[in-house]
């Protein structure tokens, strides 16, 4: 009879969540181990961003939506369950025993088409590319008809048109807002974000938003979708971004929010979306983007934590150029080899001991620590989420899709520019994992659109 101390005995006592966590860790560390074993001269090839493959995959996705964006190739992996759960959860209300799977698929697709356009177009823009004139005209024609009475799809349609840019795309946007719709933190963010980028945000629209989001911050520090629910990475980003846009970010408990987000980065080097959940590539942006927002709080009157010996250091350029150039590049790989625990697996992720320090300045010691481990996150995105044939995935073993491609690339951009003083200051080579050709376009973190397109849109709508 096998003893309780044997590996098999320990596995029998493990929960399903622990087994899933160990499986993911084993997959991730096999990838990291294989990478570490190859000659350093060959590592840069493995770390290369497959730009041409990604553009080909994304462009094909637009073409498969049909000339008028009304035809969907059912064989394509376009709509992962994770994006349905976060962006389209209201659709599940309609799913009852009398509904057929095909009807539900049509409902989900109708709501998802603007999102598919946004995910694909934004990914292409991050890679510094653009679509041809025919695809652009088709997209503008379709998206101009998608500014429907539903906040999430309106947000996706508006961001897509802002990403396309130009007079034709921007002038096709009807600047009206959705009334009497869904109520949660996501809805608050999409409404405020759209109103802000279209230059129609006012006090009346923002009334009550701050108090509602405050009621959604949990005891953990993160923000839930609605009061009483669990803190979630997507809703934490949406809540903080909305509060920044209405100039009420300092009303949040920023200390506990930073702690909660920082502790979501685990030994796999990526982020999880909730406590005790698995790593997921999409949270590279949803969680990493939170830090990008925090680093820009001076423009909104950020005052720190208000204690005598600990204050937030809001300077985004946390190292001098000399320090960055002298840093040993091997330090970037230290997260690849965590110590195994007593169970024989790598130490459990997302614990305070394994998480990186937040970007806090301790005035007693004059010491500045990074907000999160940006190079480790780049390692996860490039080595574990990137598909060599184009596109990005949740984690090893999952299929690629446009949702994860969009948010992995967005998170990668956040990492690359995390030490830049401003969006016009190109990152040092030591801030970009792999060859410098991996550098993406910078994003505006409040809206997750490429910075250049955001400024063009703001200039356009400031005239009206």
pLDDT digits (tens, 9 = 90+) for 238-249: 999 999 999 999
Percentage of residues of the chain with pLDDT beyond 70: 69
pLDDT in tens, 1-13: 454 455 555 566 8
- Do 231 and 224 form a contact (C-beta atoms < 8 A)? yes
Q: Is 444 helix (H, G, I), strand (E, B) or coil?
A: strand
pLDDT of residue 145: 76
As a whole number of angstroms, the longest Cα–Cα distance in the chain is: 79
Average confidence score pLDDT of the chain: 78
Active site residue 283: yes
Q: pLDDT confidence of 463, banded at 50, 70, 90?
A: confident
pLDDT of residue 270: 98
Q: pLDDT confidence of 178, banded at 50, 70, 90?
A: low
Active site residue 463: no
Active site residue 394: yes
Active site residue 326: no
Of the candidates 26, 158, 182, 8, the one whose C-alpha atom is nearest the C-alpha of residue 90 is: 182
**Is 84 a residue whose pLDDT tops 70?**
no
* Contacts of 166 by beta carbon, 8 Å cutoff, 6+ apart: none
pLDDT in tens, 355-383: 333 333 433 333 334 579 999 999 999 99
Give the integer Cα–Cα distance in Å for 367 and 360: 8
Here the tokens at position 247 are 């100039």
Catalytic residue among 189, 393, 401, 415: 401
**Is 386 a residue whose pLDDT tops 90?**
yes
Q: pLDDT confidence of 299, banded at 50, 70, 90?
A: very low
Active site residue 280: yes
Catalytic residue among 280, 406, 408, 447: 280
Q: pLDDT confidence of 88, banded at 50, 70, 90?
A: very low
| Number of Cβ atoms within 10 Å of the Cβ of 318 | 17
The pairing of strands 360-362 and 449-450 is unpaired
Greater model confidence, 321 or 233: 233
| Number of Cβ atoms within 10 Å of the Cβ of 207 | 10
Catalytic residue among 269, 394, 402, 408: 394
**Is 213 a residue whose pLDDT tops 50?**
yes
pLDDT of residue 175: 79
Q: What is the pTM of this model?
A: 0.80
pLDDT of residue 423: 72
pLDDT of residue 6: 53
pLDDT of residue 112: 79
Catalytic residue among 274, 395, 400, 419: 274
Segment 266-290 mean pLDDT? 97
pLDDT in tens, 35-52: 999 998 899 899 999 999
Catalytic residue among 283, 380, 402, 403: 283
Active site residue 117: no
Catalytic residue among 117, 188, 216, 282: 282
**Which helix H or strand E contains 400, and what residues bound it?**
strand 400-401
Active site residue 282: yes
- Half-sphere exposure of residue 153: CA atoms within 13 angstroms, side-chain side: 23
The sign of the CA dihedral 149, 155, 156, 158 is positive
Distances (CA, A) of 96 to 85, 125, 183: 17, 39, 22
Greater model confidence, 389 or 344: 389
Segment 401-422 mean pLDDT? 93
Give the integer Cα–Cα distance in Å for 319 and 370: 9
**Is 103 a residue whose pLDDT tops 70?**
no
Give the integer Cα–Cα distance in Å for 24 and 372: 21
Segment 100-111 mean pLDDT? 49
Catalytic residue among 277, 327, 361, 398: 277
Percentage of residues of the chain with pLDDT beyond 90: 59
pLDDT of residue 434: 95
Of the candidates 400, 421, 412, the one whose C-alpha atom is nearest the C-alpha of residue 448 is: 412
pLDDT in tens, 334-357: 444 444 444 444 444 443 333 333
DSSP calls for 303-367: -----SSEEE---S--S-HHHHHHS-GGGGGGGGSPPB-TTSSBPPSS-TTTSPPPSEEETTTTE
């Amino acid at each position: 009879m096998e003893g309780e101390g044997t590996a098999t005995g320990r596995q029998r006592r493990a929960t399903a969540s622990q087994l899933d966590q160990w499986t993911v860790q084993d997959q991730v560390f096999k990838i990291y181990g294989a990478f570490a074993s190859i000659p350093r001269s060959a590592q840069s090839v493995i770390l290369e961003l497959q730009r041409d493959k990604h553009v080909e995959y994304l462009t094909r996705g637009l073409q498969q939506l049909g000339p008028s964006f009304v035809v969907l190739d059912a064989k394509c992996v376009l709509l992962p369950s994770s994006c349905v759960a976060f962006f389209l959860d209201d659709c599940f209300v309609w799913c009852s025993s009398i509904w057929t799977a095909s009807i539900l698929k049509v409902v989900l697709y109708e709501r998802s088409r603007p999102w598919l356009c946004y995910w694909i177009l934004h990914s292409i823009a991050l890679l510094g590319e653009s679509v041809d004139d025919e695809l652009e005209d088709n997209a503008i024609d379709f998206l101009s008809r998608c500014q429907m009475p539903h906040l999430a799809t309106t947000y996706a349609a508006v961001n897509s048109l802002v990403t396309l840019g130009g007079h034709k795309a921007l002038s096709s946007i009807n600047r009206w807002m959705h009334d009497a719709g869904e109520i949660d933190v996501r809805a608050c963010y999409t409404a405020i974000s759209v109103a802000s980028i279209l230059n129609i945000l006012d006090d009346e629209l923002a009334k009550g938003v701050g108090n509602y989001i405050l009621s959604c911050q949990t005891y953990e520090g993160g923000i839930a979708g609605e009061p009483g629910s669990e803190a979630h990475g997507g809703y934490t980003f949406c809540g903080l971004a909305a509060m920044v846009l209405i100039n009420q970010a300092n009303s949040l408990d920023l200390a506990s929010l930073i702690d909660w987000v920082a502790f979501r980065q685990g030994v796999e080097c990526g982020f999880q979306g909730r406590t005790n959940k698995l790593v997921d590539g999409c949270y590279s942006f949803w969680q990493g983007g939170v830090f990008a927002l925090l680093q820009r709080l001076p423009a909104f009157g950020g005052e720190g934590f208000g204690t005598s010996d600990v204050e937030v250091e809001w300077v985004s350029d946390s190292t001098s150029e000399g320090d960055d150039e002298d840093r040993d590049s091997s330090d970037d790989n230290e997260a690849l080899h965590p110590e195994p625990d007593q169970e024989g697996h790598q130490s459990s992720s997302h614990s305070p001991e394994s998480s990186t320090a937040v970007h806090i300045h301790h005035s007693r010691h004059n010491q500045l620590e990074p907000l999160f481990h940006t190079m480790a996150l780049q390692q996860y995105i490039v080595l574990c989420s990137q598909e060599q044939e184009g596109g990005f995935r949740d984690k090893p073993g999952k299929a690629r899709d446009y949702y994860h491609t969009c948010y992995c690339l967005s998170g990668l951009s956040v990492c690359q520019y995390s030490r830049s003083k401003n969006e016009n200051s190109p990152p040092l080579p030591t801030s970009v994992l792999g060859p410098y050709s991996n550098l993406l376009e910078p994003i505006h973190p409040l809206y997750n659109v490429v910075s250049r397109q955001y400024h063009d849109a703001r200039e356009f709508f400031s005239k009206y």
